């Protein structure tokens, strides 16, 4: 086998950070399977060619496994004559266990299967959260899938469909977790497997689950449907630990790094080194809990918030998700069913009303949040906005009917308006 | 202009104020060190030279009749030094160099029915527009609204019982000549204009009327044989912009032109950047001569602010801290779909975070 | 003379706040001039009619004085048959002395003239700052103007023209004043009297001058061209007065009302009760100076900032002015000339490029700030923005040329970029 | 799909992670009390039960070859408890219950060329996309960029010398599969697409390509007799959105597809709301194999941040406090007209205040 020279790539073997080039070369030079040696050799050849010319040489196509319409990113080389063994170099997107937990055994098992059918290159994980098995021929994608599907792995999403989801480490380890991220993750995604495996939506639709507002999954930024853990009651304060903190770090440090950083000035450090929290002002931003995890913990009345419409740049520029459900409990079957119902109604409305290749966030910007909320029968809440409208360009007849609705839902708000 | 008189004007423009300025102010011009607030309505400014100037501020009806104006001059001569100014809120200010004359001046003013106050953390005089007394497009009055509300806010003007100064404004149509304010009481039309098609052709320059509409709801049309204009009522946001250039597009309606209350406008740069006011209540009847419903809402908002805000928090600072959920709860005002912005840039007013209040 | 009944207006005579109704009635009932008695009687009649029917009954028109095209708001009654003596009820907009200073003598003199020719009703001032002499016949507007013009008063703006300006009390009394508001006010406005008296702009154009960022003139909100005093060096701190303040108010109060309210956390209260100001972080918001005027004062290197494009609601919704000149000195003739030049170029560009009835703020929103700045030859400055662009939808070829410009203007910014 | 195999898939979906979870984590699931950071790359989480789980985080090349993957498994069995996970930034984490085994595990990892670190206030592993190795639309590589930059940031990954955690992302085209970040290195095309008119008709669904353009710069056209597409180059913002659906509209250019650096993206809700990243530098050459110019800028920004920010300030918090004037001064990056937004909602990014920095 004639090795392609890779002068530019070779420069990526120096330096301390683990080198993917070295890794690929190891497959090329020392792997026992000829197919893998040849594939990786040609892959390096084409990649070197890209580095030399500063251009990419892959083109797409459409392939999938029997019974599915998606889950694979097909790649055919535009320079396949010069690099025939990596001419077909498809990536299988395989859903990871919720929370990305693996035993070394299951990793080995996946490695063995991939060794049989693929290039020997794999990524944990892609930016959407899939295990990416990078580099299989059209034929082998099926065999590989058949094999791993037997022991519990399934393809993820590609194309205009429900995509693979992500959930943070959360309850498995993290003291900030306010909900069961992995349960939410699986119940949501596994309820939409048909929409995932047979792409038929206007465009992609992503779920992400973070156990608290630190949002380690970037759910608000990158998910069409974000589930974020939070709490409704008072945060838990361990005053002894607060005092401990003052002892070790000093009052000044605590004032400058916690008290003055609270976005709503909800914290007061009392003269006796105890901490007072104004829980009605607290917006659950997490900062003080992050700085003092021993002293401060989320409250006990926990649940999740839902935000809709995050996406990145294409067409309208980046967009964050915005709140549609400020808080909901997730304790029993009914709660979970309620969550799944909201997701279903959302996706149905999206499927019916979005334009081709329009994300749900774009759709909401086009039709207005209110229309979306009304379609789903979700009650308006001030938590959905940063502030009420600043301009008078709205037609407010039917004000009284709308006011009625509010008072019915909020009897505790006395109706002194009419009284007046 | 058919007129005998052919005098050529002297284009003198804006007169120099220095000539009418109190000598102490003139001498210390640009050299003031600090001020104190001895009591509501009274300011004591001290210059680097050590000189001091006392200011006494009094509220008046903005529409002054000559008797009232002359009375103010008389008081200014007798109890002060004959130098006055009017603030941007049409309060009169008497400037004097001798602090001992302040008390008598105040008594004289109060005896003559003028209200001393409106400084610092009080409710300032409500800024005032023309209304039915003079404007050609008003849906309500201005002088009457201000009078009615100030009658109810007299203590808040006279005393310092607010967390910070409160600037209230009113406007008698949706064009809003009154500024934004900590609280603003404005007209909010709720129905599209009623068009008198017989007049449009003669009165209105149709292309420029079409251009005036913020949502492009107006299109030229022939109505029973006459060139006129047509409004797409599904698009129309009832803003009234088409009315001034085209009076036959009557936007004002005794029943359907309502009042709306806005809060949190702050134009100073103190603390946060200047910020716009936000809609909190609408659908309020336009109810002369005393507009009790609107006043009741304003008073309720002021009460909540007074009870819950911290020193130096303007209304916007306060609501930013406690959040809108809590504001609607405290003020007992309904939150509706109308509060959720749907105008350009709406996106930025949605809550793209999990910052939430419970 | 038969008095019109005014049952509704009468209800506005009760209550403590001075009553305009009582005032107008006084003219009607006790003034020696019949014309004034009759005019005010009919005025009250029409106003009562408006209260009864909740509608206005004035219509506009076009009148002015000889030689001018504006400065008067003409009003003709639609119900003039029933209220003949107030059939013509025009308002003259007269420019006040800069800073709104008056001696009682000059007020009396104005009163005497108005008594001769007008209704006897006057306002100090309208929202734009004019003395409004409310209620004169077409004929009398000329006589009244002639008389007051003789002793130094001139009409202000009405229509698509440069409008009357406003400047705060400022240097006359206020310790926060950073500039000579009245001089700026007069130099600007009096340079554009032709544009004021002969309306020929696309739309109105307003100047407002505030001596400091407290902006008591609402200039940022309501002026097309706002001039705001500020300072460039360190704020002046009188530490003795700071200590005094602590003595009288207490540390806690100072921390909660000053330190934690600083928008950029630029203030530190030291243990010895002295105050440290990080002047590079300070944004000149004025808050701490407002709370402690004895202890804190603006710096000594004073000047003004210019903001363009404030307006209220019509057509596009409210808009604040935005910074085009972060700082300029105003100490000598050349400085002032420079200011006037910028105003002239701004108004020329506005006259040539704005659409009919488009404010300069709307125009800038339409063409983009950059085009406006380039047309005026104003250098870009980070102070003009809250933050750089958040989206990638811009064509950045010619990046290097633009970078060049910056480095030429800012030699101190070393060019390690290229060095890299 | 022409294929023998007719096996019907088991649509099992997302597997349950619990089965692969460390027993201590399973037992204390949802009952963790706090965590400590004993040293860079190591987390110690303590459960309400008193149990503890230690986590050791190591950076890897994201593109794992089977040898590397098996090596990691081997280390996981020998020095840990055989339970691992991968973070959202493709770092591997080993979980073990016995703290005394942490040191040996770290040595084993480092000996085998893996880098332990990336926790707390360090520079986290750069998030990674596909690039020339696999994608069909990249203008640059991803693995190479990440490798080059991490080589330069290895100390910042290994140690805690940043004011707060730093999340860096890259994207190999302007579509940006990489997230936003404290610092993001993205492609910025500077020329409109070059259209191969001979192919458009066969390859592209023209209406949907037209619909893809954010500024409506594309219109159908006949080019030498063939139906094709035409770009209005005055409108085109060179975003590349038209390229995926229509490869003949080649947007990538070895010379004119540049790199841009963005800063201040923050997706957590800690302190302020999540905020978008801002453009700071563009026109940077796309220069494989090591992209030194881009790396130099990133390092300079990190140095300024390190020297000037306060504890717990993310990059966005820091710049908000010191202001953009000062940022451009410190970073010695040029400020240009390209920094001033001209996209929808631009208005909100202009300084409508006299909050100024000198
Ligand atoms: C006289 C007047 C200027 C003039 O030339 O007319 C004026 C004068 C002073 N203003 Fe003002 N302001 C005046 C209208 C305003 C306005 C405009 C308005 O009222 O429409 C504003 C901005 C309004 C807004 O933001 O909506 C204004 C925002 C301020 C502020 C900022 C307050 C804040 O914290 O946001 C201060 C600072 C303070 O309160 O200490 C201030 C402070 C002051 C001081 C204390 C300045 C000084 O040291 O002398 C003056 C005495 C004020 C007082 O009433 O205690 N002045 N001030 C205006 C009096 C209006 C009135 O009769 O009530
Ligand atoms: C008299 C006054 C209200 C008052 O009683 O104080 C007033 C009265 C009128 N304004 Fe105004 N505006 C007055 C200050 C303002 C202000 C406040 C200011 O200047 O600081 C504003 C908001 C700031 C601004 O310029 O945007 C203001 C924004 C408007 C607008 C909307 C402009 C916009 O672009 O949004 C209009 C409508 C128009 O110009 O077509 C308008 C139009 C009018 C007209 C001419 C109505 C019309 O189009 O026929 C009103 C004549 C009333 C009358 O019969 O006298 N007036 N108008 C104020 C002028 C008195 C004076 O000269 O001192
Ligand atoms: C393992 C991981 C979640 C996962 O399931 O993969 C994770 C785990 C933790 N995150 Fe995170 N975060 C992880 C990605 C993120 C991300 C997303 C990302 O990196 O792209 C974010 C939001 C990114 C952004 O804002 O741009 C994120 C924002 C935070 C924050 C908020 C920081 C802030 O002040 O803004 C905290 C709180 C803190 O720093 O104490 C946090 C805190 C933590 C804590 C300390 C939570 C806990 O008590 O256990 C965990 C240890 C973090 C550490 O490295 O010290 N984590 N964290 C992710 C590790 C990524 C990595 O390998 O570097
Ligand atoms: C593989 C991956 C990058 C990586 O190496 O990690 C990736 C790769 C591609 N993305 Fe992506 N995206 C990947 C995560 C993302 C993310 C991040 C996320 O999901 O959290 C985003 C931003 C969030 C979002 O959804 O907006 C993302 C936003 C896009 C977009 C722009 C979508 C938008 O509305 O702005 C496109 C373009 C499109 O869909 O037409 C896109 C399109 C693509 C395509 C299919 C290019 C194309 O249209 O042919 C790339 C295939 C590359 C390949 O050959 O494998 N990819 N893409 C990530 C998926 C791996 C996985 O499944 O785990
Ligand atoms: S999102 Fe919250 S719960 Fe999840 S890992 Fe991050 S900090 Fe922990
Ligand atoms: S969580 Fe955030 S908002 Fe709540 S008290 Fe702590 S710092 Fe303040
Ligand atoms: S607010 Fe409207 S009605 Fe009132 S004076 Fe101004 S333009 Fe006239
Ligand atoms: S009222 Fe406003 S929205 Fe309606 S037609 Fe007139 S201008 Fe257009
Ligand atoms: S704007 Fe500033 S200088 Fe002018 S009066 Fe107000 S506080 Fe004084
Ligand atoms: S003026 Fe404002 S920004 Fe400057 S230090 Fe004082 S409070 Fe802070
Ligand atoms: S960023 Fe662009 S080039 Fe890179 S993987 Fe995503 S789509 Fe492909
Ligand atoms: S590059 Fe972007 S802006 Fe230019 S034509 Fe293509 S889609 Fe339109």
- Which chain A residues have a beta carbon less than 8 Å from that of C318? 390-391
What the block records as the tokens of B176 is: 């809003």
DSSP C260: G
- The Cβ of residue A238 has, within 10 Å, a number of other Cβ atoms equal to 17
pLDDT per residue rounded down to tens, chain B (358 residues): 444 558 999 999 999 999 999 999 999 999 999 999 999 999 999 999 999 999 999 999 999 999 999 999 999 999 999 999 999 999 999 999 999 999 999 999 999 999 999 999 999 999 999 999 999 999 999 999 999 999 999 999 999 999 999 999 999 999 999 989 999 999 999 999 999 999 999 999 999 999 999 999 999 999 989 999 999 999 999 999 999 999 999 999 999 999 999 999 999 999 999 999 999 999 999 999 999 999 999 999 999 999 999 999 999 999 999 999 999 999 999 999 999 999 988 889 999 999 999 9
* Contact check, Cβ <8 Å, B134/C169: no
Query: What spacing in Å lies between the alpha carbon of C157 and ligand 2's midpoint?
Result: 11
- Residue A163 C-alpha, separation from nearest chain D C-alpha, in angstroms: 11
Inform me whether the C-beta atom of residue C93 falls under 8 Å from chain B C-beta atoms. Answer: no
Query: Do A118 and A133 meet the contact criterion of CB atoms below 8 Å apart?
Result: yes
Strands A90-94 and A131-136, how do they pair?
Answer: antiparallel
Chains that touch B (3 or more CB pairs under 8 A): A, C, D
* Contact check, Cβ <8 Å, B90/C124: yes
Q: Which of the listed residues A210, A220, A286 should we mutate to test ligand 5's pocket, taking the one with most ligand atoms within 8 A of CB?
A: A210
Burial class (CB in 10 A: 0-12, 13-18, 19+), C308: buried
Residue A177 near ligand 5, beta carbon < 6 Å: yes
Query: What spacing in Å lies between the alpha carbon of A216 and ligand 3's midpoint?
Result: 5
User: Which residues of C, range 354-393, sit inside 8 Å of B by Cβ?
Assistant: 355-357, 386
Inform me whether the C-beta atom of residue C420 falls under 8 Å from chain D C-beta atoms. Answer: yes
DSSP C81: T
Cα C287 to Cα C264: distance, rounded to the nearest angstrom: 11
- Which chain A residues have a beta carbon less than 8 Å from that of B335? 380-382, 406
Query: Do D117 and D56 meet the contact criterion of CB atoms below 8 Å apart?
Result: no
Confidence of residue D2 (pLDDT cuts 50, 70, 90): very low
> Nearest to residue A317, comparing CAs of D191, C389, D253?
C389
Cα C83 to Cα C79: distance, rounded to the nearest angstrom: 6
Residue C49 near ligand 10, beta carbon < 6 Å: no
Q: What is the dihedral of CA A251, A252, A257, A263, to 10 degrees?
A: 90
Q: If you write DSSP's letter for every residue of A363-377 in order, what string do you get?
A: HHHHH-HHHHHHHHT
Cα C341 to Cα D323: distance, rounded to the nearest angstrom: 30
CA–CA–CA angle B216, B221, B227 (5° rounding): 125
User: Which residues of B, range 242-281, sit inside 8 Å of C by Cβ?
Assistant: 245, 247, 252, 254, 265, 267-274, 276
How many residues would you count in chain D? 358
- The Cβ of residue C236 has, within 10 Å, a number of other Cβ atoms equal to 14
Nearest chain A residue (CA) to D276: A318
Whether the upstream peptide bond of residue C187 has omega within 30° of 0, thus cis, is no
What the block records as the tokens of A360 is: 């749900």
Q: How far is CA C318 from CA B167, B341, C222, C223, in A?
A: 18, 14, 9, 12
User: Which residues make Cβ contacts (< 8 Å) with residue A371, sequence separation at least 6?
Assistant: none
> How many H-runs (helices) and E-runs (strands) does chain D carry?
10, 15
* Contact check, Cβ <8 Å, C392/A313: yes
Inform me whether the C-beta atom of residue D210 falls under 8 Å from chain A C-beta atoms. Answer: no
Cα C70 to Cα D207: distance, rounded to the nearest angstrom: 54
Cα A24 to Cα A7: distance, rounded to the nearest angstrom: 15
Residues C66-124: tens digit of each pLDDT:
999 999 999 999 999 999 999 999 999 999 999 999 999 999 999 999 999 999 999 99
Q: Which residue has the tokens 């930034």?
A: D89
DSSP C311: B
Q: Report the residue of B28, B49, B66, B266 to disrupt the C interface, i.e. the one with the largest count of C CBs within 10 Å.
A: B66
DSSP D266: B
Strands C207-210 and C166-167, how do they pair?
Answer: parallel
Query: What spacing in Å lies between the alpha carbon of D269 and ligand 6's midpoint?
Result: 10
- Residue A81 C-alpha, separation from nearest chain D C-alpha, in angstroms: 17
* Contact check, Cβ <8 Å, D29/A23: no
- DSSP, collapsed to helix, strand or coil, labels residue A268 as strand
Q: How far is CA B132 from CA A392, B136, D158, D318, in A?
A: 22, 8, 74, 53
pTM of the model: 0.96
Q: How far is CA B34 from CA C173, C203, C297, in A?
A: 9, 41, 8
Inform me whether the C-beta atom of residue B322 falls under 8 Å from chain A C-beta atoms. Answer: yes
Packing angle, helices A333-353 and A181-189, rounded to 10: 50
Q: How far is CA A36 from CA A107, A135, C136, C366, in A?
A: 19, 10, 98, 59
* CA D161 remoteness from chain centre: 21
* CA C217 remoteness from chain centre: 5
Residue C417: the pLDDT is 45
Q: Report the residue of B286, B294, B358 to disrupt the A interface, i.e. the one with the largest count of A CBs within 10 Å.
A: B358
pLDDT per residue rounded down to tens, chain C (420 residues): 999 999 999 999 999 999 999 999 999 999 999 999 999 999 999 999 999 999 999 999 999 999 999 999 999 999 999 999 999 999 999 999 999 999 999 999 999 999 999 999 999 999 999 999 999 999 999 999 999 999 999 999 999 999 999 999 999 999 999 999 999 999 999 999 999 999 999 999 999 999 999 999 999 999 999 999 999 999 999 999 999 999 999 998 999 999 999 999 999 999 899 999 999 999 999 999 999 999 999 999 999 999 999 999 999 999 999 999 999 999 999 999 999 999 999 999 999 999 999 999 999 999 999 999 999 999 999 999 999 999 999 999 999 999 999 999 988 665 544 443
Residue A262 near ligand 6, beta carbon < 6 Å: yes
Q: Which residue has the tokens 């159908």?
A: D220
Inform me whether the C-beta atom of residue C72 falls under 8 Å from chain B C-beta atoms. Answer: no
- The Cβ of residue A332 has, within 10 Å, a number of other Cβ atoms equal to 9
Cα C156 to Cα C92: distance, rounded to the nearest angstrom: 8
- Which chain A residues have a beta carbon less than 8 Å from that of B325? 381-383
* Contact check, Cβ <8 Å, B352/A321: yes
- The Cβ of residue A290 has, within 10 Å, a number of other Cβ atoms equal to 18
pLDDT of residue D210 exceeding 70, the answer is yes
- Residue A409 C-alpha, separation from nearest chain D C-alpha, in angstroms: 28
* CA B149 remoteness from chain centre: 12
Nearest chain C residue (CA) to B139: C55
Element (H, E) at B282: strand B278-284
- Which chain B residues have a beta carbon less than 8 Å from that of C356? 208, 211
Inform me whether the C-beta atom of residue A408 falls under 8 Å from chain B C-beta atoms. Answer: no
Element (H, E) at C181: helix C181-189
What the block records as the tokens of B65 is: 């009749």
Greatest pairwise CA separation for chain D in angstroms:
78
Confidence of residue A218 (pLDDT cuts 50, 70, 90): very high
Cα D25 to Cα A97: distance, rounded to the nearest angstrom: 15
Residue A414: the pLDDT is 54
Inform me whether the C-beta atom of residue B214 falls under 8 Å from chain C C-beta atoms. Answer: yes
- Please name every residue paired with D184 in a beta bridge, in sequence order, or none if there are none: D169, D262
Cα B117 to Cα B157: distance, rounded to the nearest angstrom: 6
Cα C277 to Cα C273: distance, rounded to the nearest angstrom: 13
Query: Do B181 and B169 meet the contact criterion of CB atoms below 8 Å apart?
Result: yes
**Mean pLDDT, to the nearest integer, of D247-275?**
97
**Mean pLDDT, to the nearest integer, of D90-103?**
98
Residue A212 near ligand 5, beta carbon < 6 Å: yes
Query: Do D173 and D193 meet the contact criterion of CB atoms below 8 Å apart?
Result: no
Residue D43 near ligand 3, beta carbon < 6 Å: yes
What the block records as the tokens of C276 is: 């440290």
> Nearest to residue A300, comparing CAs of D268, B329, D31?
D31
Q: If you write DSSP's letter for every residue of A37-96 in order, what string do you get?
A: HHHHHHHHHHHHHHHHHT---EE------TT-S-SEE--EETTTTTSGGGSB-EEEEEPP
Cα A87 to Cα B253: distance, rounded to the nearest angstrom: 74
Q: Which of the listed residues D34, D162, D268 should we mutate to test ligand 3's pocket, taking the one with most ligand atoms within 8 A of CB?
A: D268
- Please name every residue paired with C277 in a beta bridge, in sequence order, or none if there are none: C267
Q: How far is CA D227 from CA A67, A401, D210, D235, D245, in A?
A: 37, 55, 13, 21, 16
Residue C399 has its nearest CB partner, among D282, D321, D327, at D282
* CA B223 remoteness from chain centre: 40
Residue A385 has its nearest CB partner, among B238, B292, B324, at B324
- Please name every residue paired with B263 in a beta bridge, in sequence order, or none if there are none: B183, B278
- DSSP, collapsed to helix, strand or coil, labels residue C215 as coil
What the block records as the tokens of B114 is: 């003028």
How many residues would you count in chain B? 358
Q: Which residue has the tokens 């709301």?
A: D273
User: Which residues make Cβ contacts (< 8 Å) with residue D312, sequence separation at least 6?
Assistant: A257, A261, A287, A291, D163, D164
User: Which residues make Cβ contacts (< 8 Å) with residue B204, sequence separation at least 6?
Assistant: B229, B245, B246, B247, B248, B249
User: Which residues make Cβ contacts (< 8 Å) with residue B202, sequence separation at least 6?
Assistant: none
Residues D313-345: tens digit of each pLDDT:
999 999 999 999 999 999 999 999 999 999 988
């Amino acid at each position: 086998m004639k090795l392609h020279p890779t002068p530019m790539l070779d420069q990526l073997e120096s330096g301390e950070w683990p080198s993917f080039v070295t890794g690929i070369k190891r497959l090329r030079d020392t792997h026992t399977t000829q197919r893998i040696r040849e594939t990786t050799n040609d892959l390096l050849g084409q990649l070197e060619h890209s580095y030399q010319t500063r251009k990419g040489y892959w083109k797409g196509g459409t392939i999938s496994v029997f019974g599915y319409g998606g889950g694979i990113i097909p790649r055919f080389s535009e320079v396949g004559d010069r690099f025939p063994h990596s001419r077909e170099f498809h990536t299988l997107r395989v859903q990871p266990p919720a929370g990305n937990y693996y035993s070394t055994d299951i990793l080995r098992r996946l490695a063995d299967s991939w060794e049989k059918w693929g290039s020997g290159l794999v990524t944990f994980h892609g930016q959407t959260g899939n295990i990416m098995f990078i580099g299989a021929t059209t034929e082998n994608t099926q065999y590989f899938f058949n094999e791993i599907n037997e022991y519990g792995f399934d393809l993820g999403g590609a194309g205009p469909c429900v995509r693979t989801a992500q959930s943070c480490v959360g309850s498995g380890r993290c003291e900030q977790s306010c909900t069961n991220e992995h349960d939410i993750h699986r119940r949501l995604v596994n309820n939409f497997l048909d929409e995932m495996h047979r792409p038929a939506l206007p465009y992609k639709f992503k779920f992400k689950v973070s156990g608290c507002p630190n949002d380690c999954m970037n759910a608000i930024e990158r998910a069409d449907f974000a589930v974020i853990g939070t709490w409704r009651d008072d945060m838990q304060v361990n005053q002894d630990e607060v005092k401990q903190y003052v002892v070790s770090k000093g009052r000044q440090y605590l004032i400058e790094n916690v008290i003055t950083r609270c976005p709503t000035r909800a914290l007061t450090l009392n003269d006796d080194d105890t901490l007072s929290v104004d829980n009605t002002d607290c917006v659950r931003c997490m900062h003080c809990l992050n700085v003092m995890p021993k002293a401060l913990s989320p409250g006990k009345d926990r649940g999740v918030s839902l935000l809709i419409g995050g996406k990145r740049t294409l067409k309208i520029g980046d967009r964050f998700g915005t709140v549609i459900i400020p808080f909901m409990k997730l304790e029993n079957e009914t709660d979970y069913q309620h969550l799944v119902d909201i997701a279903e109604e959302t996706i149905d409305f999206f499927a019916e009303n979005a334009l081709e290749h329009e994300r749900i966030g774009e759709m909401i910007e086009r039709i207005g949040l209110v229309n979306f909320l009304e379609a789903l029968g979700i009650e308006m809440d001030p938590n959905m906005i940063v502030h009420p409208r600043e301009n008078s360009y709205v037609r407010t007849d039917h004000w009284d009917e709308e006011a009625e609705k509010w008072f019915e839902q909020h009897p505790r708000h006395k109706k002194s308006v009419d009284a007046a | 202009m058919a007129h005998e008189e052919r005098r050529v004007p002297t284009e003198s423009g804006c007169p120099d104020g220095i000539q009418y300025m109190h000598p102490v102010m003139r001498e210390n011009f640009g050299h003031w060190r600090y001020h104190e607030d001895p009591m509501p309505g009274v300011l004591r400014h001290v210059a680097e030279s050590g000189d001091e100037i006392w200011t006494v501020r009094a509220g008046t009806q903005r529409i002054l009749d000559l008797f009232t104006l002359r009375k103010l001059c008389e008081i200014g001569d007798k109890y002060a030094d004959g130098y006055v100014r009017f603030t941007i809120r049409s309060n009169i200010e008497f400037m004097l160099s001798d602090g001992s004359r302040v008390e008598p001046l105040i008594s004289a003013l109060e005896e003559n029915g003028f209200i001393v106050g409106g400084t610092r953390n009080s409710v300032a005089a409500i800024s005032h527009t023309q209304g039915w007394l003079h404007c050609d497009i008003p849906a309500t009055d201005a002088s009457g609204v201000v009078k009615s509300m100030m009658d109810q806010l007299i203590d808040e003007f006279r005393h310092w019982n607010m967390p910070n100064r409160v600037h209230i404004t009113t406007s008698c149509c949706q064009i809003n000549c009154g500024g934004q304010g900590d609280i603003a009481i404005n007209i909010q039309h709720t129905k599209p204009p009623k068009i008198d098609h017989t007049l449009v052709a003669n009165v209105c320059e149709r292309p420029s009327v079409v251009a005036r509409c913020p949502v492009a709801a107006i299109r030229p049309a022939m109505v029973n044989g006459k060139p006129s204009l047509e409004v797409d009522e599904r698009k129309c946001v009832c803003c009234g912009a088409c009315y001034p250039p085209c009076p036959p597009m009557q936007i004002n309606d005794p029943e359907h032109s309502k009042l709306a209350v806005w809060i949190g406008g702050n134009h100073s740069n103190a603390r946060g950047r200047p910020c716009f006011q936000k809609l909190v209540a609408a659908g309020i009847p336009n109810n002369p001569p005393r507009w009790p419903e609107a006043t009741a809402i304003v008073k309720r908002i002021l009460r909540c602010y007074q009870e819950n805000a911290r020193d130096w928090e303007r209304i916007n600072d306060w609501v930013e801290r406690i959040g809108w959920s809590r504001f609607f709860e405290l003020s007992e005002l309904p939150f509706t779909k109308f509060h959720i912005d749907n105008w350009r840039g709406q996106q930025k007013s949605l809550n793209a975070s999990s910052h939430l209040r419970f």
